[in-house]
C-alpha cells in the first residue's frame, strides 16, 4: 500500500527551540508519513543547547537539526509544503512571518523557552513545558483522519489544536 508523505514547516522567530523541537518530534512520531522542517524569520544561527539536551534525553534525533531562515523554503527547488504551522507566541510580542502559497496553515503559539529567566531549573522547566505542549499538539495532529476531512474541516481542526488550553 502506498501513501502520501506530507511536508510540514514549523516557523518561529529564531528557529532555535520551539520550531526545532516540533521538527524533531514530528519527524520521529510521524513514522515516515510526515517530513517536518523548521525555519525562522530571524534565525539565531544555532540550535539552543537546552532544546538539544531535552530532545536527546527523550531519545529524539538531533543530528540534522539546524537554525535556518524561512526564505530557504520559498526557493523554487524547496519542498512543497502541505502545512505551515507557526509556533511563535504573539503574546510575547513576536512577529510571525506570513507564508505565501497554498499550504494549510495555523498558529500554534507556544511561549519562547529561550526567553526564560531565572535558575537553571526554571529554564529547563520552560523548555520542558514547550516540549510537552508541542508533543501533545503534534500527537493530536497525527491522529486526525485526513482521508475523512474536507479542506475546511481540516483547517478548522488545525486551528482548534493551536487554541486548546494546555
Encode pLDDT of 99-133 as tens digits: 556 789 999 999 999 999 999 999 999 999 999 99
Please identify which of the residues 22, 36, 85, 88 carries the catalytic annotation. Answer: 88
Q: Point out which residues pair with 84 in neighbouring strands.
A: 9, 105
From the candidates 8, 11, 12, 84, give the one annotated as an active-site residue: 12
Question: What domains can be seen in the chain, in order of their start residue?
Answer: 6-163 (3.40.50.2300)
Q: Is the per-residue pLDDT at 94 higher than 60?
A: no
Question: Active-site residue 12, yes or no?
Answer: yes
Q: Please tell me whether the overall predicted TM-score, pTM, comes out greater than 0.85 for this model.
A: yes
pLDDT > 70? residue 96: no
Q: Give the tens place of pLDDT for each residue, 1-49.
A: 457 899 999 999 899 999 999 999 999 999 899 999 999 988 999 999 9
pLDDT the model gives residue 111: 94
- Residue 91 pLDDT more than 50? no
Q: What is the pLDDT of residue 51?
A: 98
CB–CB of 134/89 below 8 Å? no
Mean pLDDT for the stretch of residues 42-64: 96
Per residue, the 3-state secondary structure of the chain, as one string, reads: CCCCCEEEEEEECCCCCHHHHHHHHHHHHCCCCEEEEEEECCCCCCCCHHHHHHHHHCCCCCCCCCCCEHHHHHCCCCCCCCEEEECCCHHHCCCCCCCCCCCEEEECCCCCHHHCCCCHHHHHHHHHHHHHHHHHHHHHHHHCCHHHCCHHHHHHHHHHHHHCCC
Catalytic-residue membership of 87: no
Residue of 44, 96, 144, 154 marked active site? 96
48 is catalytic: no
Amino acid at each position: 500500500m502506498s501513501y502520501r508523505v506530507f511536508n510540514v514547516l514549523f516557523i518561529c522567530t529564531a528557529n532555535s527551540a520551539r520550531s526545532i523541537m516540533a521538527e524533531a518530534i514530528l519527524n520521529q512520531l510521524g513514522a515516515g508519513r510526515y517530513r517536518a522542517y523548521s525555519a525562522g524569520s530571524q534565525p539565531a544561527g544555532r540550535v539552543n543547547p537546552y532544546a538539544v539536551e531535552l530532545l536527546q534525553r527523550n531519545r529524539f534525533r538531533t543530528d540534522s537539526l539546524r537554525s535556518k531562515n524561512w526564505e530557504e523554503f520559498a526557493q523554487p527547488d524547496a519542498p512543497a509544503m502541505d502545512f505551515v504551522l507557526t509556533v511563535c507566541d504573539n503574546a510575547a510580542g513576536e512577529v510571525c512571518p506570513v507564508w505565501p502559497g497554498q499550504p494549510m496553515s495555523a498558529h500554534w503559539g507556544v511561549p519562547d523557552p529561550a526567553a526564560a529567566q531565572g535558575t537553571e531549573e526554571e529554564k529547563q522547566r520552560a523548555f520542558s513545558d514547550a516540549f510537552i505542549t508541542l508533543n501533545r499538539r503534534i500527537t493530536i495532529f497525527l491522529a486526525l483522519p485526513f482521508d475523512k476531512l474536507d479542506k475546511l474541516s481540516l483547517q478548522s481542526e488545525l486551528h482548534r489544536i493551536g487554541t486548546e488550553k494546555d
